């Protein structure tokens, strides 16, 4: 039986501002969309935390037995410098400054994004569509919204009419804002003069003569608005109403608010059942910003090449640190916090490595089933990784007590104990045992060295030494295989 049938998962829904029992649109299947990066610079640490949080969600849903379609987009056009539809396209601006093609910028930073997430052991999404790959779908949505009278065209650009939409719907339902407050707080910005109202947002922007990234449309040669791409791609791959939409807290307004409005007009239904938002990351108690120097890239953490942290920290130790805070809480990234987390990570990995050294007894003095149920209870409570990690440290205590024979465990309970620890540590939290990997690398290095010595012996016709190296490795469970491309080995 799939685990989701016996586990009642609750998710904090940003729309209702409360925890709700998770019931997918289709039983046993989950559709999840997460707003991906705008690829004009190296992925920053705050983005990494957001994507790590939703990787954890993806992993736990899969662990529960759901068939998950996880869609995460790449924004490679249409994201202007200012959310009020003013300024240059961020990617085009980077291309202009570096005197390269915009798609060179996209390629460079998409590769960086993938490599960084792979380093911290994020799973790839099921589908990773791009904005430029879905221009046709976006144009069709704009046509539909225009036909329904909720958008208007001015000088080749098309804008969503927020005030007209708000006559029958609630623009601000997700963020809790209302139009009156929005009007009161609106500043006059360049490029807003052709809008009916400052609150209106672009569905299509006419490209000026300097704008490199442009596509033909019924209104002008131009490009789609930033908000539109996510509506187009999420509904194409997940349907008109899907289960989970995630992103950073900073996207709640205006990006996600605009998504709700344009999708509801286009399809006539609420697009998402559960809105999830990961909170921000600060550095040493202050907002991260390049302008102030209070800024660090993920690779600078792993290499130690920075002036902010006391030392280098491994990807898994860094991941462990981030997961010790709830995904909805602000996390202060500090050297002291990382050092403390690293010590905890080492203790956890040592305990996991010691599981095979535990001797079984006829009976158990530890209630493994109660502990296991508590692990699931914490994750079922809106993916509460801090409490899960606290339960895993209870398991560390159990391991130490069992090794010193102060407690006992049956063979059946030990199997369940191992399976549960491994599932939550590696499958759900996505950690790696970097110490085992180091040992494996060292073993490979030693064997390759011995293979080289054996080759020298064979070249010198010292068959006795060659056979001795082969036989002694075989006695240790390491089999050598000679072939036309050289000698390879396998560990039994």
**pLDDT higher than 70, residue 15:** yes
Measured from the Cβ of residue 243, the count of other Cβ atoms closer than 10 Å reads 24
**What mean pLDDT, rounded, does the chain reach?**
91
Pick the more confident residue, 66 or 454. Answer: 66
Q: Would you list which residues are annotated within the binding site for Zn(2+)?
A: 35, 230, 255, 259
**pLDDT higher than 50, residue 189:** no
Residue pair 402/358 in contact (Cβ under 8 Å)? The answer is yes
The domain tally of the chain equals 3
Instruction: Give the domain CATH number at 396.
Output: 1.10.730
Question: Based on the domain organization, do 246 and 170 belong to the same domain?
Answer: yes
Q: Tell how strand 201-206 and strand 222-224 pair up.
A: antiparallel
Give CA–CA dist 204/225, Å, rounded. Answer: 5
Cα distances (Å, whole numbers) of residue 472 to 451, 461, 463, 468, 480: 12, 19, 14, 6, 11
Question: Based on the domain organization, do 478 and 412 belong to the same domain?
Answer: no
433 occurs within a structural domain: no
Question: Based on the domain organization, do 120 and 217 belong to the same domain?
Answer: yes
Give CA–CA dist 408/401, Å, rounded. Answer: 8
474 occurs within a structural domain: yes
Burial label, 343 (beta-carbon count in 10 A; 0-12, 13-18, 19+)? exposed
Final residue of a structural domain among 250, 278, 306: 278
**pLDDT higher than 90, residue 98:** no
Is residue 187 very low, low, confident or very high in pLDDT (cuts 50, 70, 90)? very low
Give CA–CA dist 453/22, Å, rounded. Answer: 60
Final residue of a structural domain among 238, 258, 278: 278
Final residue of a structural domain among 371, 404, 427: 427
| pLDDT tens-place string over residues 405-444 | 999 999 999 999 999 999 999 999 999 998 775 545 556 6
Instruction: Output the pLDDT for position 271.
Output: 97
Question: Based on the domain organization, do 95 and 25 belong to the same domain?
Answer: yes
CA angle at 399 for the pair 397 and 402, rounded to the nearest 5°: 110
434 occurs within a structural domain: no
435 occurs within a structural domain: no
Q: 469: domain range? A: 440-491
200 occurs within a structural domain: yes
Question: Based on the domain organization, do 104 and 33 belong to the same domain?
Answer: yes
- Residues 6+ away with beta carbon under 8 Å from 189: 82, 84, 86, 198
137 occurs within a structural domain: yes
Instruction: Output the pLDDT for position 484.
Output: 66
Give CA–CA dist 221/447, Å, rounded. Answer: 62
Q: Would you list which residues are annotated within the binding site for ATP?
A: 290
| pLDDT tens-place string over residues 321-351 | 999 999 999 999 999 999 999 999 999 999 9
Q: Would you list which residues are annotated within the binding site?
A: 35, 230, 255, 259, 290
Question: Which residue, among 125, 324, 131, has the nearest Cα to 227 in the 3D structure?
Answer: 131
């Amino acid at each position: 039986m799939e685990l989701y049938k016996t586990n009642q998962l609750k998710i904090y829904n940003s729309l209702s501002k409360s925890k709700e029992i998770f019931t997918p649109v289709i039983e046993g299947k989950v559709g999840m969309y997460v707003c991906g990066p705008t690829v004009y610079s190296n992925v920053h640490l705050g983005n990494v935390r957001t994507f790590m949080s939703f990787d954890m969600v993806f992993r736990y849903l899969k662990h529960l037995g759901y068939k998950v379609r996880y869609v995460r987009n790449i924004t490679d056009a249409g994201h202007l410098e200012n959310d009020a539809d003013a300024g240059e396209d961020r990617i085009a601006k980077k291309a202009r400054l570096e005197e390269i093609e915009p798609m060179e910028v996209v390629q460079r930073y998409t590769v960086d994004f993938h490599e960084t997430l792979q380093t911290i052991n994020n799973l790839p999404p099921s589908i990773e569509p791009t904005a430029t790959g879905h221009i046709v779908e976006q144009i069709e949505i704009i046509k539909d919204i225009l036909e329904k009278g909720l958008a208007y065209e001015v000088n080749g650009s098309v804008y969503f009419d927020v005030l007209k939409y708000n006559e029958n719907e609630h623009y601000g339902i997700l963020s809790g804002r209302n139009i009156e407050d929005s009007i009161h707080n609106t500043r006059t910005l360049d490029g807003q003069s052709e809008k009916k109202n400052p609150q209106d947002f672009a569905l299509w922007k006419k490209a000026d003569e300097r704008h490199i990234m442009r596509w033909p449309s019924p209104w002008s040669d131009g490009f789609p608005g930033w908000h539109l791409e996510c509506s187009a791609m999420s509904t194409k791959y997940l349907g008109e109403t899907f289960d989970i939409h995630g992103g950073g807290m900073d996207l709640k307004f205006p990006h996600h608010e605009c998504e709700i409005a344009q999708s509801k007009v286009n399809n006539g239904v609420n697009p998402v059942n559960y809105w999830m938002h990961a909170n921000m990351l600060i550095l040493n108690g202050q907002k991260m910003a390049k302008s102030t120097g209070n800024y660090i890239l993920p690779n600078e953490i792993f290499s130690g090449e920075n002036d902010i942290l006391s030392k280098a920290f491994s990807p898994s130790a860094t991941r462990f640190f981030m997961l010790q805070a709830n995904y909805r809480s602000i996390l202060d990234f500090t050297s002291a916090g990382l050092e403390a987390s690293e010590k905890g990570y080492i203790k956890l990995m040592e305990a996991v490595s010691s599981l095979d050294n535990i001797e079984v007894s006829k009976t158990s003095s530890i209630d493994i089933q109660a502990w296991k149920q508590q692990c699931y209870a914490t994750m079922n409570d809106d993916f509460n990784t801090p409490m899960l990690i606290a339960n895993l440290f209870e398991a560390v205590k159990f391991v130490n007590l069992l090794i010193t024979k102060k407690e006992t465990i049956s063979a059946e309970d030990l199997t369940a104990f191992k399976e549960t620890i491994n599932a939550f540590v590696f499958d759900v939290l996505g950690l790696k045992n970097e110490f085992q990997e180091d040992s494996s690398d060292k073993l490979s290095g030693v064997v390759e060295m011995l293979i080289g010595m054996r080759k020298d012996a064979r070249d010198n016709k010292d068959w006795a030494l060659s056979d001795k190296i082969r036989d002694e490795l075989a006695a240790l469970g390491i089999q050598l295989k000679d072939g036309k491309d050289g000698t390879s080995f396998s560990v039994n």
